């Protein structure tokens, strides 16, 4: 890390976050495992954002400490708590505290629907509400155009709507083609080994053990990445992705696929890589996730982005590559977004060291 910083390859924010992750690693792990972890963090920092490092650190810690000996679920529950501070002169109260990953996952799923622009706007008498049943796209789009709230204000109003008497969570309807619910994705190997993390459609990371406990008492959708059992190929019979395809996209892409974008799957639409208007089929290998902002960048103009399926010779075979306009990249090299897939490289790089350490500890 010091060498990379001295060479100007990483920033002070990278260094600060790397040191925070390293400080949380188990003290008795072997030197080679600690070096692997630092190498992963520094390697990502050379091209990635500092804000992504805590997420990578949680994935590393989940693999180094699968049994919760360093940071257990009981430790997290012990820290949980929400404090409503004293009201100020204007009557406003500040909220402080820590919430568990389970509560975060549930709130994220609800806020993805209720806190989107146009929803539950207390300043708009015609804004759709939590108890409004089916909401036509035209109604929500019109309400969104009138919405002048920032993200924090929308979250506040969504929470207000959530606690209103008579609100039935099952009546919240659909959000981007799926019911309002927690969707958990995990790899089959992590499920079998009891290590690693599950990821929600809103980008929250939960340990495998926590994810399985959530499945016992609630009704999340658990998508295990085994690649079978879903009706994913509709050809030209339908333009929009169906529920099974949405779930598969959440499991595969996890978020917006444009390079550098960190928007989670709950904020994304299903985009045809080869445009529907040009004959592209509604098949899973021609669909990808794109957030509303990035989706709007795709067009045939000189400043438009293009999307392609990475070929057989690519290291990212089958994934969606984005080609920037010539003003950004004159060569037009297709690039993929790895911000939502750091766990794969972590698993491959660190599992060998962890396996030796865990066998000695046992």
Between 238 and 303, name the one with better pLDDT: 303
Distance (Å) of CA 345 to CA 36, 40, 47, 261, 337? 11, 8, 15, 19, 13
- Give, for 199, the enclosing helix (H) or strand (E): strand 197-200
| pLDDT value at residue 231 | 40
Percent of the chain with pLDDT over 90: 23
Q: From the CB of residue 28, how many other CB atoms can be counted at a distance below 10 Å?
A: 10
Give me 214's structure tokens. Answer: 């959530």
Lowest mean pLDDT among 106-110, 175-179, 230-234: 230-234
| pLDDT value at residue 97 | 92
The strand pairing partners of 83, in sequence order, are 96
CA distance 267 to 18: 28
CA distance 155 to 149: 10
Question: Shortest CA distance to 108 belongs to which of 215, 266, 226, 214?
Answer: 266
Q: Do 178 and 247 contact (CB within 8 A), yes or no?
A: yes
Residue 3 has pLDDT above 60, yes or no: yes
CA distance 181 to 265: 13
Residue 13 has pLDDT above 80, yes or no: yes
Give me 319's structure tokens. Answer: 């994934």
Q: What is the mean pLDDT of the chain?
A: 79
| pLDDT value at residue 68 | 59
Domains and CATH numbers, the chain: 77-177 (no CATH), 243-323 (1.10.30)
DSSP SS3 for 197: strand
Give me 243's structure tokens. Answer: 């529920």
Q: In this structure, what DSSP letter does residue 85 have?
A: P
Rounded to 5 degrees, what angle do the CA atoms 242, 246, 247 make? 120
User: pTM score > 0.85 for this model?
Assistant: no
CA distance 340 to 319: 13
Query: How many residues comprise the chain?
Result: 362
Residue 228 has pLDDT above 50, yes or no: no
How much is the average pLDDT of 292-300?
A: 92
Give the confidence band of 230 by pLDDT, cuts at 50, 70, 90.
very low
List pLDDT tens digits, range 26-79. Answer: 777 778 888 888 988 998 898 888 888 888 888 887 777 666 556 667 767 888
How much is the average pLDDT of 312-326?
A: 88
| pLDDT value at residue 149 | 94
Burial tier of 99 (Cβ tally within 10 Å: 0-12, 13-18, 19+):
middle
Residue 125 has pLDDT above 60, yes or no: yes
| pLDDT value at residue 239 | 75
Strand intervals (E) in 214-351: 221-224, 268-272, 287-291, 306-309, 320-323
Give the confidence band of 7 by pLDDT, cuts at 50, 70, 90.
very high
């Amino acid at each position: 890390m010091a060498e990379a910083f001295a060479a100007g390859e990483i920033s002070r924010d990278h260094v600060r976050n790397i040191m925070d992750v390293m400080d949380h690693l188990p003290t008795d792990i072997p030197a080679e495992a600690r070096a692997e972890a630092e190498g992963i963090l520094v390697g990502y920092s050379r091209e990635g954002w500092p804000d992504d490092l805590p997420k990578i650190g949680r994935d590393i810690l989940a693999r180094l400490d699968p049994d919760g000996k360093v940071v257990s679920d009981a430790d997290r529950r012990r820290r949980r708590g929400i404090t409503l501070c004293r009201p100020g002169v204007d009557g406003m109260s500040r909220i402080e505290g820590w919430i568990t990953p389970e509560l975060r996952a549930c709130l994220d799923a609800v806020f993805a629907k209720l806190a989107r622009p146009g929803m539950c706007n207390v300043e708009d008498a015609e804004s759709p509400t939590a108890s409004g049943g089916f909401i036509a796209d035209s109604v929500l789009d019109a309400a969104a155009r009138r919405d002048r709230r920032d993200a924090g204000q929308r979250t506040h109003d969504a929470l207000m709507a959530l606690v209103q008497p008579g609100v039935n969570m099952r009546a919240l309807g659909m959000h981007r083609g799926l019911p309002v619910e927690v969707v958990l994705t995990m790899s089959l190997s992590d499920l079998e080994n009891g290590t690693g993390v599950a990821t929600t459609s809103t980008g929250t990371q939960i340990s495998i053990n926590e994810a399985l406990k959530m499945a016992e008492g609630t009704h999340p959708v658990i998508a295990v990445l085994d690649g079978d059992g879903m009706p994913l190929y509709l050809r030209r019979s339908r333009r929009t992705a169906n529920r099974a395809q949405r779930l598969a996209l959440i499991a595969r892409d996890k978020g917006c696929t444009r390079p550098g974008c960190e928007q989670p799957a709950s904020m994304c639409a299903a985009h045809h890589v080869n445009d529907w208007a040009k004959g592209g089929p509604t098949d899973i290998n021609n669909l990808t996730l794109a957030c509303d902002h990035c989706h709007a960048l795709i067009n045939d103009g000189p400043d438009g982005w293009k999307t392609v399926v990475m070929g057989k010779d690519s290291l990212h075979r089958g994934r969606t590559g984005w080609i920037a306009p010539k003003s950004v990249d004159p060569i037009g090299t297709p690039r993929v977004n790895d911000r939502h897939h750091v766990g794969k490289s972590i698993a491959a790089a660190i599992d060998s060291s962890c396996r030796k350490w865990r066998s000695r500890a046992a």
